[in-house]
Chains A and B, each alone.
Chain A
Amino acid sequence: MAKYLLLKHYRGAPAAVNDVPMDQWKPDEVEAHFQFMHDFAERLERSGEFIDGQALSPDGMWVRSDGGGRPPVTDGPFAETKDLIAGWMVIDVDSQERAIELAGELSAAPGAGGEPIHEWLEVRPFLTAPPTDSQ
């Protein structure tokens, strides 16, 4: 088994095919989307492939140490140009093919007009622990 991080972005990913802000969708399209997301996580839990998933607030900031004794500096809230992660899901799957398959399904969540969103998701393999037989 290998763990993968699926990352969804508010910003910074290439534009989705069906790129309409959710507040412009119809109520039943929004419901279908919520249902899909709910069912997706539940299905992975049942198949034993779900590890964790969390959504992130779009509010946040960049912080850097400014040296000993001084308070850290912040770059303020994420500017419009900066990459902004919306949430993650960690899955534990048998192969990279399976990770890609699942990310593909998630990317096709229904959106405006009932059509799949086709959004870009980032798929990142975890670095693993060294094998037990290595010296």
Chain B
Amino acid sequence: VNVDEVELRQLVPRVLSVLVGRGADFATAEDAVQEALIRALSAWEAERPADPTGWLITVAWRAFLDLIRSESARHDREVRFDTEPPAGAVPSADDTLRLYFLCAHPELTPSSAVALTLRAVGGLTTRQIAQAYLVPEATMAQRISRAKRVIGREGVDRPGDLRTVMRVLYLVFNEGYSGDVDLAAEAIRLTRQLAALADDPEVHGLLALMLLHHARRRSRTRPDGSLVPLAVQDRSQWDTDLIAEGIVITHAALARDQLGEYQAQAAIAALHADAPCVEETDWLQIVEWYDELLRFADTPIVRLNRAVAVGEADGAPAGLAALAEVDEQVPRRDAVAAYLHEKNGDLELAVRLYAEAARRAPSLAERDHQMRQAVRLNQGRPGA
């Protein structure tokens, strides 16, 4: 029997809320739930309990008692909990939402908030999180306990808010796929859960954005890991169910007339996903959405992406004019400049810029991609 790990992990926030509701401190309760989760992963192989939540709560509560007993033995303190659990209130949706807020505490560094969210809300084991981020398990364990100490010190009364939670989930999503945990899929699962708990159009915008990007993942890389740019992706490989869902969620969110940065980004992603081929992309509307996005997030990266869209909508000279206003230091600026100069017919400059883009690429896949662009263009250039 294989344990349905996702089903198991969905129970984690509820179990943790029960323990906290019974008076357990967050940090120890979280360790106890992790312990119960790891036991469930092996125990449920043999036989899945009839009441999985009850099983987890019982085992987590015992683990909690063991933890505070050994803790109090170390510090010669009295154990304050009876073995028989107090009744405690039944956890509500608000308790799970509170866990999200706690794990995205504004005093936590982004990497700590990400790790804690994946463990306390996502129900991943420390080992899985460590593998996903390619760090040793001991390092990840330290990061998580440090995060919990910060929360203990800063107080659980001033947790984060939806904005900090969404930033954490978006970070998880962008980490993509490495190791045996699909972080993009996990980010989508957690955002879906969040959207059910917090009825905010920006959360729906974030969910739609993730779905629309996720829909294209198969076509974004070749089997050897090399990158395929949007313009030449095989659109028949796009996941039409995810796209349809993403578009419906985007429209419903936009209809509520409380625009924000994630909805604007989802609108842009929806316009790309909706185009049967790159030539039929509605670039004019995409530029308009970038202008909206700038109102909420005027960053060099948004301006860089806007310059690409302007180049498609109004021609390469307009794109280059838009690019001129983008910070020189922003990553991938050379790549965009190379593309726009190539489009503008200035091939010699484009080759130089592609080579420079390869030199400054933030990943190997991108370096190889930009180098391919440079040699492709160098080859076709008259007199080269």
Residues of chain A having any CB pair with chain B under 8 Å? 21-27, 30-31, 34-35, 38, 55, 57-59
Q: Interface on B for A, CB 8 Å cutoff?
A: 224-226, 351, 354-355, 358-360, 362, 364, 367-368, 371-372, 374-376, 378-379
* Bound CA–CA A55/B368 (angstroms): 12
- A residues within 8 A CB of B355? 21, 23
Cα A30 to Cα B354 with chains together (Å): 14
The 5 closest A-B pairs by CB, nearest first: A23-B355, A23-B374, A27-B375, A30-B375, A55-B364
Query: Apart from A23-B358, A23-B371, what are 13 other A-B pairs with CB-CB below 8 Å?
Result: A22-B371, A25-B375, A26-B375, A27-B372, A27-B375, A27-B376, A34-B368, A35-B224, A38-B224, A55-B364, A57-B360, A57-B362, A59-B360
Q: Is B351's CB under 8 angstroms from A23's CB?
A: yes
Q: How far is the CB of B89 from chain A (nearest CB, A)?
A: 49
Query: Which of A25, A27, A58 is the one whose CB lies under 8 Å from B359?
Result: A58
Main secondary structure of the interface of A (DSSP, over half): helix
Contacts of B354 in A (CB 8 A): 23
- Which listed residue, B226, B358, B378, touches A24 by the CB 8 Å rule? B378
Tell me the complex Cα distance, A34–B226, Å: 10
Interfacial chain A residues near B224, Cβ < 8 Å: 35, 38
Cα A128 to Cα B120 in complex, Å, equals 39
Q: Which residues of A are found within 8 Å of B226, using beta-carbon distances?
A: 34
Would you give 5 A-B contacts (Cβ < 8 Å), ordered by A? A21-B355, A22-B375, A23-B358, A27-B376, A34-B368
Task: Report Cα–Cα, A82/B358, bound state, in Å.
Answer: 21
Nearest Cβ distance between residue B271 and chain A, in whole angstroms?
A: 32
Query: Whole-angstrom distance from the CB of B153 to the nearest CB of chain A?
Result: 26
- Contact A23/B378 with A30-B372, A34-B368, A38-B224 known, Cβ cut-off 8 Å: yes
Residues of the A chain whose Cβ atoms lie less than 8 Å from the Cβ of B378: 23-24
Closest to A55 in B: B364
Select the residue from B360, B371, B372 with max chain A CB neighbours within 10 A.
B371
Bound Cα distance from A64 to B375, whole angstroms = 39
